């Protein structure tokens, strides 16, 4: 049928609009792809820095009072979990995930707490964050659970290296996900995940979209694996099921990766599955490209029917929703049950990158108070996904999938019958139905479902910027917000560390100089103390021993004289007494040296305590251990033989005679003076008179007896002088031998050397302590310099990282996926 001029012009404008829209889409796709590349490089750099300077994960200081809920709505793309509903204050708080305050565009400044404001708040410990700032973390959040510990307390209890390792794993997974996002936005095909709670009617909804009974339906949960429905044209136009083996990457051209089944076998596969992980269902959609979702003539689309959410598959479905192949999540909700806790947890987990979720409220025809049902579900949607609530007219639909007429089931299949299949539908009933009210309701149900289909087509096809690019943008903003918050915290930590180590270095320099100076001064003091002490001991010992040796004979040796018959034994006893007396002097000198040593050790200890304090190691000093060696070993080696002449010491006798002579002379002088005074020379006359009386002959006879008497008297006198002469003779001989062997010097040197050796121990210990103190301070200075250098590098890096993430963030926020396409293409956007 020929077209009119108006239709031709409208067709040309539509073609032009499609071209412009594609260029607009490609421009945003390229911009996001470049941003992904920049963010991946940034995260890799963060990993490298985290390996050399472990990043600090901010700990959270719990607030005692509950924080007020946010009242403002955000004007652009944000997390679906960043806003709480204003009208449902009694709803459950979101478990586990954090609220982002930095992913929105143009958000009020009072909603996010600046780092400067955080610094002005009192902190219980360094590097704490308030819960509002901590909730910014979503992608890089360390989600740990152990016992009764709160997650933030558990993270804070870990070592810094462990936290850095966990953070590295998060960064690696984020890089992997970004690469997957890049592949997704570059892929021309789109995948729609249909999920929801058990018995929500997911398979019924998919069959209604296909207008065929392909997926099995039942009142009981029957879908246990993922079933991906694709256009049969991708399989050479053949309708069949490819059941993918576990732990195998699917390849349609490699039949070893899957088993082939007919469509009639699908129900058995999904209900009693044990060996397959997923089914690829290739079907034909004979509807026109304007009506069909699979065969739309624009992009290749597949519909994935997921198992119902429960405790076993929640994590699997959430992970599947975050994979790169999922572009749109269609969440099917039972109109009777609303959003369960499992459903909310899934939506929160999937919202890390998807700001928009297509919500289908199924079984709406069974609800009597439909207005109340819509109000309650929309309130829940507002709390779960504010962006979805904002677009609720396009993204939230209340339908009855079982009212949609569908084709017959595959040959050999029973088609199911229970939970909303075409058995209850009204569109293909007999013409004889005469209930006009019932027909009106059925038409209304079909019209609502057709509106849903058109909205889903627009969202998937015409609004690919939302369905395909918005998740990438949302995830980029989330990652950049996390990295920016982490970089801000670590920049402050690095600056704080830099200030701390700089102050430490400034404090260390004078300590090192003082320690080096003290080491030199104390060393000199110790040497001076040791030398002075040893010299005093040497001089004292030498003078004491010399005096003891010289005066040994004059002292009372305590040896009685036994008589002439035991004179030689007396001589031996005298020798032993002299040597013992000298040994006693040596002992006295050693005792004096011991006292001086105690004083020296105490003096050195005081120096150690003065300069080292508690770091001084006090050695155990036992003065009684000194000089345990035989002190008179040298004296005992002296062999002095007693000779006959040793008993007669003429020098001693002469000294005694001189003393006596002195006394006699004094008497003679006195007598002479007295005689002169009395009678002059009368005694001479008396002497001459006596000679005359005796006579010369008698005088000559008296000479010999006189001589003998004199000799006897002299001998007797000499024998009487043995106790006085012998000690002197033996002392002289012993002194001569001691002088020959340098006994005094040897003992003086021995005692002083022993003292020096003993004093060297605490002296060396003190020197070692001072040297160790200097070395420790030097080592600490080097380590502090190293930390300062690392902190300086980290401060610059994280400062640059904050700036870099800001620039990338501005670029990503500049990708306006909400606005209309430019030019004539804007007229064809809804």
In this structure, the number of other CB atoms found within 10 A of the CB of residue 752 comes to 24
User: 775: which DSSP letter?
Assistant: H
pLDDT of residue 728: 67
Q: Of 494, 489, 474, nearest to 167 (Cα)?
A: 489
Question: Between these two residues, 123 and 276, which has the higher pLDDT value?
Answer: 276
Torsion of CA 333, 334, 335, 340, to 10 degrees: -70
Average pLDDT over residues 130-157: 55
Residue boundaries of the structural domains of the chain: 189-427+437-462, 524-776
Average pLDDT over residues 111-126: 40
Could you tell me the two tokens for 396?
């939230």
What is the H or E stretch that residue 636 is in? Answer: helix 633-636
Residue 110 has pLDDT above 50, yes or no: no
Question: Between these two residues, 110 and 223, which has the higher pLDDT value?
Answer: 223
Least confident of 81-90, 411-420, 519-528: 81-90
Question: What whole-number distance in Å separates Cα of residue 141 and Cα of residue 151?
Answer: 10
pLDDT of residue 417: 44
Average pLDDT over residues 481-510: 91
Burial class (CB in 10 A: 0-12, 13-18, 19+), 605: middle
Least confident of 273-287, 339-353, 419-433: 419-433
Q: Of 516, 586, 596, 519, nearest to 546 (Cα)?
A: 586
Residue 357 has pLDDT above 90, yes or no: no
End-to-end CA distance of the chain: 29
Question: What whole-number distance in Å separates Cα of residue 131 and Cα of residue 129?
Answer: 6
pLDDT of residue 811: 92
Could you tell me the two tokens for 27?
């421009």
What is the CATH code of the structural domain delimited by 189-427+437-462? 3.40.50.300
Average pLDDT over residues 746-775: 88
Average pLDDT over residues 315-342: 73
Residue 151 has pLDDT above 60, yes or no: no
Specify the 3-state DSSP secondary structure of 797.
helix
The vertex-520 CA angle with 515 and 521, nearest 5°, equals 95
Give Cα separations from 179 to 47, 60, 142, 806 (angstroms).
Answer: 16, 31, 21, 21
pLDDT of residue 794: 93
Q: Which residue has the tokens 């410990």?
A: 125
Residue 350 has pLDDT above 60, yes or no: yes
Highest mean pLDDT out of 63-72, 761-770, 782-791 = 782-791
Q: How confident is the model at residue 49 (pLDDT cuts 50, 70, 90)?
A: very high
Residue 44 has pLDDT above 90, yes or no: yes
Residues forming a β-bridge with 259 = 243
Residue 124 has pLDDT above 50, yes or no: no
pLDDT of residue 636: 57
Residue 346 has pLDDT above 90, yes or no: no
* 693-701 CB contacts, 8 Å cutoff, 24+ apart: none
Q: How confident is the model at residue 453 (pLDDT cuts 50, 70, 90)?
A: confident
Could you report the per-residue pLDDT of 404-427, keeping only the tens digit for each? Answer: 877 776 665 544 444 443 333 333
Q: 306, 195 in Cβ contact below 8 A?
A: yes
Q: How confident is the model at residue 70 (pLDDT cuts 50, 70, 90)?
A: very low
Question: Between these two residues, 531 and 318, which has the higher pLDDT value?
Answer: 531
Residue 795 has pLDDT above 70, yes or no: yes
Q: 303, 294 in Cβ contact below 8 A?
A: yes
Could you report the per-residue pLDDT of 676-714, keeping only the tens digit for each? Answer: 444 545 555 666 676 666 667 776 776 777 677 767 666
The vertex-204 CA angle with 201 and 208, nearest 5°, equals 135
Least confident of 78-82, 667-671, 754-758, 825-829: 78-82
- Average pLDDT across the chain, whole number: 74
Could you tell me the two tokens for 405?
């007429």
Could you report the per-residue pLDDT of 557-567, keeping only the tens digit for each? Answer: 666 666 656 55
* 666-674 CB contacts, 8 Å cutoff, 24+ apart: none
Q: How confident is the model at residue 649 (pLDDT cuts 50, 70, 90)?
A: low
Residue 299 has pLDDT above 70, yes or no: yes
Q: How confident is the model at residue 498 (pLDDT cuts 50, 70, 90)?
A: very high
Question: What whole-number distance in Å separates Cα of residue 491 and Cα of residue 505?
Answer: 21
The percent of residues above 90 in pLDDT, for the chain, comes to: 15
Question: Between these two residues, 535 and 410, which has the higher pLDDT value?
Answer: 535
pLDDT of residue 559: 62
pLDDT of residue 84: 39
Question: What whole-number distance in Å separates Cα of residue 356 and Cα of residue 379?
Answer: 16
How many helices, marked H, and strands, marked E, lie in the chain? Answer: 22, 11
Specify the 3-state DSSP secondary structure of 436.
helix
Q: 63, 123 in Cβ contact below 8 A?
A: no
Least confident of 126-135, 196-205, 303-312, 637-646: 126-135
Question: Between these two residues, 153 and 478, which has the higher pLDDT value?
Answer: 478
Residue 387 has pLDDT above 80, yes or no: yes
């Amino acid at each position: 049928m020929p077209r009119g001029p108006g239709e031709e012009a409208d067709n040309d404008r539509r073609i032009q609009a499609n071209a412009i829209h594609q260029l607009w889409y490609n421009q945003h796709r390229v911009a996001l792809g470049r941003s992904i590349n920049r963010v991946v490089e940034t995260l890799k750099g963060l990993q490298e820095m985290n390996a050399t300077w472990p990043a600090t994960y901010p700990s959270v200081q719990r607030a005692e009072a509950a924080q007020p809920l946010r009242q403002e709505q955000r004007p652009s793309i944000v997390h679906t979990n960043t806003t709480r509903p204003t009208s449902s204050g009694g709803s459950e708080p979101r478990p586990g995930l954090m609220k982002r305050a930095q992913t929105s565009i143009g958000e009020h400044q009072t909603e996010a707490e600046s780092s400067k404001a955080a610094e002005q708040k009192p902190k219980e410990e360094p590097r704490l964050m308030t819960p509002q700032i901590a909730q910014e973390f979503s992608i890089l959040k360390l989600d740990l659970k152990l016992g009764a510990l709160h997650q933030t307390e558990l993270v804070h209890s870990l070592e810094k290296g462990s936290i850095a390792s966990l953070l590295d794993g998060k960064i690696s997974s984020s890089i992997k996900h970004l690469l997957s996002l890049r592949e997704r936005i570059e892929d021309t095909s789109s995948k729609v995940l249909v999920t929801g709670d058990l018995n929500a009617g997911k398979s019924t909804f998919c069959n209604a979209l296909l207008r065929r009974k392909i997926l099995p339906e039942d009142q009981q949960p029957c879908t246990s694996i993922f079933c991906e429905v694709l256009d049969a044209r991708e399989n050479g136009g053949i309708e069949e099921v490819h059941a993918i083996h576990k732990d195998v990457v699917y390849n349609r051209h490699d039949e070893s990766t899957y088993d082939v089944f007919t469509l009639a076998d699908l129900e058995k596969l999904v209900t009693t599955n044990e060996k397959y992980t997923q089914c690829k269902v290739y079907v034909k959609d004979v509807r026109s490209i304007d009506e069909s979702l699979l065969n739309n003539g624009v992009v290749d689309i597949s519909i994935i029917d997921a198992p119902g959410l429960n405790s076993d598959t929640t994590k699997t479905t959430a992970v599947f929703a975050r994979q790169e192949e999922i572009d749109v999540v269609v969440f099917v909700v039972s109109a009777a049950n609303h959003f369960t806790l499992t459903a909310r947890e899934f939506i929160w987990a999937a919202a890390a990158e998807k700001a928009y979720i297509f919500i289908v409220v199924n079984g709406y025809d069974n609800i009597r108070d439909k207005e109340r049902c819509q109000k309650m579900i929309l309130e829940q949607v507002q709390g779960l996904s504010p962006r979805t609530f904002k677009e609720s007219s396009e993204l939230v639909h209340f339908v009855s999938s079982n009212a949609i007429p569908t084709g017959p089931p595959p040959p050999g299949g029973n088609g199911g019958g229970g939970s909303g299949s075409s058995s209850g539908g009204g569109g293909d009933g007999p013409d004889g139905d005469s209930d006009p009210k019932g027909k009106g309701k059925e038409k209304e149900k079909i019209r609502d479902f057709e509106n849903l289909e058109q909205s889903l087509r627009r969202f998937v096809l015409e609004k690919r910027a939302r369905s395909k690019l918005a998740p990438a943008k949302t995830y980029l903003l989330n990652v950049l917000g996390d990295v920016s918050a982490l970089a801000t915290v670590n920049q402050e930590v690095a600056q704080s560390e830099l200030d701390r180590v700089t102050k430490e270095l400034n404090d260390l320099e004078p300590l090192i100089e003082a320690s080096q100076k003290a080491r030199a001064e104390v060393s000199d003091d110790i040497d001076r103390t040791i030398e002075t002490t040893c010299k005093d001991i040497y001089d004292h010992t030498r003078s004491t021993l010399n005096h003891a040796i010289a005066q040994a004979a004059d002292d009372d040796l305590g040896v009685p004289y036994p008589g002439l018959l035991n004179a030689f034994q007396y001589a031996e006893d005298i020798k032993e007494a002299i040597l013992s007396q000298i040994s006693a002097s040596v002992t006295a000198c050693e005792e004096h040296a011991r006292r001086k040593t105690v004083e020296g050790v105490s003096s050195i200890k005081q120096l150690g305590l003065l300069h080292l304090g508690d770091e001084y190691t006090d050695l155990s000093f036992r003065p009684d251990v000194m000089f345990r060696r035989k002190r008179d070993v040298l004296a005992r080696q002296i062999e002095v033989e007693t000779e006959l002449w040793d008993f007669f010491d003429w020098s001693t006798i002469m000294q005694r005679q001189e003393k006596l002579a002195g006394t006699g002379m004094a008497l003679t002088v006195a007598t002479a003076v007295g005689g002169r005074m009395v009678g002059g020379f009368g005694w001479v006359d008396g002497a001459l008179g006596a000679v005359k009386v005796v006579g010369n002959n008698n005088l000559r006879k008296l000479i010999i007896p006189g001589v003998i008497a004199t000799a006897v008297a002299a001998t007797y006198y000499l024998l009487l002088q043995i106790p006085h002469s012998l000690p002197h003779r033996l002392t002289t001989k012993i002194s001569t031998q001691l002088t020959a062997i340098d006994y005094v010097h040897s003992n003086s040197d021995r005692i002083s050397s022993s003292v020096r050796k003993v004093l060297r121990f605490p002296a060396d210990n003190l020197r070692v302590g001072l040297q160790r103190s200097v070395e420790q301070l030097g080592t600490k200075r080097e380590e502090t310099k190293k930390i300062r250098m690392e902190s300086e590098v980290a401060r610059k890096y994280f400062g640059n990282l904050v700036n870099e993430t800001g620039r990338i963030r501005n670029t990503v926020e500049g990708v306006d996926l909400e606005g209309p396409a430019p030019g004539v293409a804007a007229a064809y956007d809804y």
